[in-house]
Chain A
Amino acid sequence: MLPEARLLNRGIGPEPETLDPQLARTTQSHIALRDLFEGLVSYSAEGVLVAAAASRWKISADGLRYKFWLRPEGRWSNGETVVARDFVYSFRRLVDPETAAFYAETLNSVVNAAEITAGNKPPEALGVEATSRFELEITLREPTPYFLSLLAQAATYPVREATVVEFGEQFARAGKLVSNGAYRLAKWEIGLAITLIRNEQYWNNKNTAIDVVRHHVTVEPSVELFRYRAGELDVTSTIPSEAFARIRDERPAELRVSAFLGTYYYGLNLNYPPLGDNPELRQALSMAIDREALTASVTGRGEQPAYSWIPPGVQNYESPVLSYATLSTEKRNAAAKRLYTEAGYNEANPLQIQLRYNTSETHKNIALAIQAMWRHTLGFEAELINEEFRVLVTNMRAMKITQIFRSSWNGDYNDAYAFLAMFESDNPSNMFGYSNEDYDLQLKRAAKQTNPARRRLYLEEAERVLLADLPVIPIYYHVSKHLVSPSVRGWQDNVLDYHYSQHLSFD
């Protein structure tokens, strides 16, 4: 008697845009890709870095040379063996300017990667070599302590060269795509769902419990919740804030809320007044925000107030904390008012400033709440400007009209540097006009440091400088929130919010 195929229905959120690992740009694409492919390394269900396509590796003492031994039993979904050359091809494809890969910079620490992407060297010059059928060697420009975790990222997933050559840009479609992960692509109905079925050839297939995974496109969180309640989904991608309290009361066992490596913040443009050259004002604005009330009432899903920039949970790191974290609300507000006056503002001369956020219920509610807090504590009326996402992004980059703008930063990998890089003076993600020599220096020192304990000190010092200058106002640390059906087993909370379907099962 054949057992019924075990089918897992997951809500994925907004639509993924592609299943080509090197071209993928969005979180949603990465979720689907994680089930389809496997990188050299991967994460366990608990969020620990483990061997995957590679069975073991060796790192040289100077941190510049990595050698990987591939698993000889690794297979593509068409039965062919996964070999080192596949990874060489895929890494070159990632940095190749012709590919126009969005995350080409993932491999920037590899020798020649940046030059290739800039078009100054051919892809063959990349510091990656297949020294034998199953041996791969990677050479870096400078020691990058978090390099291994980069190799778990979707951008570095291998693609089969013959498939790409044969089908060109259509290779990532159902019926053509060849993958090396736990599942293969059965169907992609745009706007509806991606259907994955078990990859029998996968080297670890015997440990895969779920036969079919459907990632459903769920654009509206409230509708996703309806579908979950109606039994159509086993796992949701998020939980709408207005329903959170009720769910906590009615279905506490199905609620999975976990710390997440992401900070919700208000960015400040330091290029001109009123925020440039006025650190007192920036601190005042930060102090006057009642983060506890905000996270308790407005977002109310277990988010943690942020008094540092980097969220807790980063390995080998402890953030310095803003001095007013421990003050009572009254004392903090009073201190804020004092700083505000010191900054040159008062009732006769209130601050005039614009706060931009992109269209979303959450952002709107937070902005309204903070506007009210500033009105109440400091006595000025911030002007709220709701912009469509891409308009806001354009304005943030241009740095010409923004003053305060809402944003979030998520760590791609579990390392403090993922959060600190963007404040370096020459970083393209620096949308704040922030430039501090001391800060840059600390980061440069950290980059050259192979001793983790000493590296940590430099990074923490950098964050201390950052918190003193406050080019951003951290507001709260994100949480990942899901509803997981009681029949699903194997779901483990982790700070990266990676949940591979191959770790899940039904009881």
Chain B
Amino acid sequence: MDRTAYFNDLMARTEELFYHELSDCAAWKTEFIGVDFIQAQDIQGETPAEVIEDCIGKIAAAGLIEEASYSIGGENILLYLKVKGCLHISKEAKLMKSGIKPYNCPIINMILDQLIEKLNFETTYVADLEVDTDAGMCTIKSAIFETPEKIGNVCDWSDECRLIDENNTWKTISC
């Protein structure tokens, strides 16, 4: 029996029902999904980069993903993340098949949780989650706010992401 497929099927059904109840607001409710794992990992770090890298390293070491690349841009508010080989991708594929855009990524939930828990970030928000099931890759754009004053610092994230891609300012961590 494929236990991963079994558990992803359970999650997909739950998220489908949850979306049916709350539509796009469902995404606002799921920020704790996944945090139990990361909170048990004793993540270390004094800076966002250190915390993010320790999170990705421990997530990859546990076999939840193959690797992840991240870059921080946009006035230090944009956390741009690419996750490869995630254990949960079949959950996302199943949701997409039922016409629902994936909205709950446990991996980004873990990282954002640790920015809040370990670095006392004021708040975070997952702005976009794109899943490419063929490539086995998820691309996530999140807003991370170290202090309340950071809210309202705006710029064009499509430009920011293009520059990150062009200049290859990615940092990749794998197991």
On whether the two chains bind one another, the answer is: no
Interface residues of A (CB under 8 A from B): none
Interface residues of B (CB under 8 A from A): none
